Amino acid sequence: MISIIFSSFSTKDSALRIGKLLLDKRLIACSNIIRMESQYVWKGKFHEGEEFGAYFKTSLTKKNEVVRFINQHHPYEIPCITSKDVVINNAYKGWMDSFLMGEI
């Protein structure tokens, strides 16, 4: 199993920046950034517009550290950070574990 962590960002650059920092620290093995339309109410005002969702793939043992890092470096005052543990194919898991342990 691996953990996939998701969070939304106001800009593509901020999502890519967090992903690069996490990759440089070998806290994640991969990030996927997607454009999306969002609606929400913040401080009593309705907002609708473009955001960028980021999926960060990591090991179960690094999940909590990744969540803490995102929370500390996220540009939003109160970011939404979710995680889900999923079954993954053995070849991908092997590659991911090797990367996260600094073997490749």
Q: In CATH, what number does 2-100 get?
A: 3.30.70.120
pLDDT along the chain (104 residues), means of 10: 98 98 98 98 96 98 98 97 98 97 93
Considering only the C-alpha atoms of the chain, give the largest distance between any 2 of them, rounded to a whole number of Å. Answer: 49
Q: CA 35 to CA 66: how far, in whole Å?
A: 22
Task: Identify the pLDDT of residue 39.
Answer: 97
Listed residue (20, 7, 3) closest to 82, CA to CA:
7
Q: Which helix (H) or strand (E) holds 19?
A: helix 12-24
Instruction: Give the pTM.
Output: 0.95
Task: Identify the pLDDT of residue 15.
Answer: 98
Task: Identify the pLDDT of residue 79.
Answer: 97
What are the residue boundaries of the structural domains of the chain, listed by start?
Answer: 2-100
Listed residue (80, 67, 72, 55) closest to 27, CA to CA:
67
